[in-house]
Amino acid sequence: MTNRTPASRRHLLIRPLAVALTLLLALAPAFAQESQPLDQLYGAEPEGAQQGGEVVVGIVYEPPALDPVHQQADATTAITVLMYQGLAYTDWDGTIRPMLATSWSASEDGLTWTFDLREGVTFHNGDELTAADVKYSYDYIRSEDCGCAGSVYLNAVESIEVIDDFTVAFHLASRNSAILAGVADKLTAVFPEGYFDNEGAQARLNQTSVGTGPFMLDEFRPNQSIRLVRNPNYWQPGAPYLDAITFVSVPDGNSLLNGLRTGQIDLAQLARPQDVAQLEGVNGVSYQEQTSWVQKSLDLQAGGGATEDLAVRQAISLAVDKQEILQAAVQGYGQVIGLIPAGMQERWGAPLDELPMQGPNPERARQILTDAGYPDGVEVQITTIIGFDWMTPAAETLVSQLAEAGIRATIRRQDLGVWIDNWGARSFVDVTLNDWGTVPDPSLLLDAHFQMEPVGNDFRNWNNEEATELLAQAKQATDYDERYALYVEVQKMMAEDAITIPLFSSSIIAVERDRVNNYVQHPSGWYHGLIRTWVE
């Protein structure tokens, strides 16, 4: 019943997973979703694609384990999407489309979702996919035995029923269109029935994969490389084209660039988008800039400290010059945003000129502070996380912007593990920089963060009953205009209270050598694109 914001990547903070299934659903009164033709799944078939060949991909963040359901880190999902599939997947434009399901429909009351399954799908171990596997997998994910973050997505599910070998029904305790988030790419996958019943099954995932995806795990060497090989029995005709993909762990951004220059690395997402300038004039490489669904933001503590006072938060919001921070942090490779990631602005974003408390307006900030009884300004602490490159220049720029409003800020750097600890305990101090990964569903983006306990997590201690109620209504509403109006209202409230100040959505820069063809970077940062990539 309650919608939780999806888990975070290990190094990024929030990641609502499901794409706006609701987008499509709101438009189709029958709640049905037709599948794409097989040659359109994961993108259109490219012209002239050749079979065979291998690709070396450099990755900066290594997955701790290749387990799609027990590990929520984005670094993990980026790679496991090539081996494991769910009932649905997130398309490049943000729509949720059927994958292992061919279609789905909801009952009139919205409490029963029926999925028709694809026939002729086999797991890497040879077993054939049936409804029993689907029931087992999603029952396992939402069970206590799993200890899985994805269980929260399936909170609304009361039971899962096998109707026949290729039909399965999810019975919900309350209406929840975001249920499809729980069955798409992240934190979810369909396993063979009973897979996790054996001891050591989880650990074995790091040696042998048991998904339905186009690639299988060949070898995982920690701190070195991950090698995937083509699944010879993959159910989608034609795909994939590559024989093998090797992900090499390259933690140093400069080494990554060197590898691209010398051709030892064929493809990489740059650690910092602005590094692309260093590849100018290098032969044999090209790059694509993709606006990601990531948002970089400031989050403010409303439960204590200097920012407990609304006036202080509003002053901070007015003092911020987002364009300047975008320039300082990633040299402009991205887009300034309102309250919603750039990729969602058109569909769900409140018009930027309608949002209150937007800067830069240091004079008004000073006025608000003075009126509130801070004639001499106020002191706040800003926290950045070690390992997030963009945060340092952003924080330093922020300090000088705040100073103009009479706010004296100091910067403190924190280890990620400590930060997560504080965040989970809702006890972070004053202002923290944050890095959200997301997929374009407003419910998954906002609910867990901004609804009060026990419905949501309310990490910032906003304690806003009205917002909680509005978000609940929006989650259950089926008419797009109604949902849009509700989300706009909530965004205005968030802006007025300055509970969070999203700054910008950064671009993903994917660099490739010329021999790599048809790699289209997915806005999530995951490697879906490799399924339709071919090499000469």
Verify binding: residue 295, another protein, rule CB under 8 A: no
Structure token pair of residue 178: 């975001």
- Closest residue by Cα to residue 496 from 475, 469, 466: 466
Question: What is the C-alpha to C-alpha distance for residues 373 and 370, in angstroms, rounded to an integer?
Answer: 5
What single string gives the DSSP state of each residue in 389-428? TTHHHHHHHHHHHHHHTTEEEEEEEE-HHHHHHHHHTT--
Considering only 47-55, 177-185, 197-205, 311-319, which stretch makes contact with another protein by CB under 8 A?
197-205
Indicate the residue among 58 and 362 with the shorter CB distance to another protein. Answer: 58
Structure token pair of residue 74: 């984005």
Q: How far is the CB of 349 from another protein (least distance, A)?
A: 22
Question: What is the C-alpha to C-alpha distance for residues 79 and 75, in angstroms, rounded to an integer?
Answer: 7
SS3 content of the chain, % helix, strand, coil (to 5): 30, 20, 45
Element containing residue 358 per DSSP (H, E): none
Within residues 418-447, the interface with another protein by CB under 8 A covers 418-425
- Closest residue by Cα to residue 10 from 387, 439, 457: 387
Question: What is the C-alpha to C-alpha distance for residues 115 and 165, in angstroms, rounded to an integer?
Answer: 11
Verify binding: residue 151, another protein, rule CB under 8 A: yes
End-to-end Cα spacing for the chain: 50
Verify binding: residue 203, another protein, rule CB under 8 A: yes
Verify binding: residue 251, another protein, rule CB under 8 A: yes
Q: Is the dihedral of CA 427, 431, 434, 440 positive or negative?
A: positive
DSSP secondary structure letter of residue 150: G
Q: Which residues pair with 436 in a beta bridge?
A: 14, 295
Verify binding: residue 262, another protein, rule CB under 8 A: yes
Verify binding: residue 186, another protein, rule CB under 8 A: no
Q: 505: how many CB neighbours lie within 10 A of its CB? A: 26
Q: Which of 107, 159, 254, 400 binds another protein (CB under 8 A)?
A: 254
Verify binding: residue 4, another protein, rule CB under 8 A: yes
Q: In the stretch 337-366, what mask flags binding to another protein with x, by CB under 8 A?
A: ------------------------------
Ramachandran region, residue 332 (left: φ > 0; alpha: ψ -120 to 50; beta: rest): left
Q: Which of 59, 100, 149, 495 binds another protein (CB under 8 A)?
A: 149
Q: Which of 103, 114, 174, 225 binds another protein (CB under 8 A)?
A: 225
Verify binding: residue 523, another protein, rule CB under 8 A: no
Checking DSSP bridges between strand 516-517 and strand 334-336, what pairing results, if any? unpaired
Verify binding: residue 457, another protein, rule CB under 8 A: yes
Verify binding: residue 194, another protein, rule CB under 8 A: no
DSSP secondary structure letter of residue 122: B
DSSP secondary structure letter of residue 449: H
Verify binding: residue 246, another protein, rule CB under 8 A: yes
CB 317 within 8 A of CB 358: yes
Indicate the residue among 144 and 376 with the shorter CB distance to another protein. Answer: 144
Verify binding: residue 182, another protein, rule CB under 8 A: no
Please enumerate in sequence order all residues whose Cβ is within 8 A of that of 363, keeping only pairs 6 or more positions apart, or say none.
Answer: none
Indicate the residue among 215 and 247 with the shorter CB distance to another protein. Answer: 247
The amino acid sitting at 1 is: M
Considering only 115-123, 241-249, 347-355, 405-413, which stretch makes contact with another protein by CB under 8 A?
241-249
Q: Which of 224, 233, 400, 463 binds another protein (CB under 8 A)?
A: 224
Q: Which of 34, 52, 119, 147 binds another protein (CB under 8 A)?
A: 147
Q: How far is the CB of 183 from another protein (least distance, A)?
A: 16
Which burial class, exposed, middle or buried, applies to 455 when counting CB atoms under 10 A from its CB (0-12, 13-18, 19+)?
middle
CB 34 within 8 A of CB 40: no
Q: How far is the CB of 143 from another protein (least distance, A)?
A: 9
Q: Which of 1, 38, 49, 64 binds another protein (CB under 8 A)?
A: 64
Considering only 107-115, 253-261, 346-354, 491-499, which stretch makes contact with another protein by CB under 8 A?
253-261
Structure token pair of residue 301: 């503590």
Verify binding: residue 198, another protein, rule CB under 8 A: no
Verify binding: residue 204, another protein, rule CB under 8 A: yes
Q: How far is the CB of 403 from another protein (least distance, A)?
A: 31
Q: How far is the CB of 372 from another protein (least distance, A)?
A: 32
Verify binding: residue 41, another protein, rule CB under 8 A: no
Please enumerate in sequence order all residues whose Cβ is within 8 A of that of 323, keeping only pairs 6 or more positions apart, or say none.
Answer: 336
Q: Which of 249, 288, 323, 331 binds another protein (CB under 8 A)?
A: 249
Q: Binding residues for another protein, per CB under 8 A?
A: 4-10, 13-15, 56, 58, 62, 64-65, 70-73, 144-152, 187, 200, 202-204, 206, 220-225, 246, 248-252, 254-255, 258-259, 261-262, 264-265, 415-425, 448, 456-457, 459
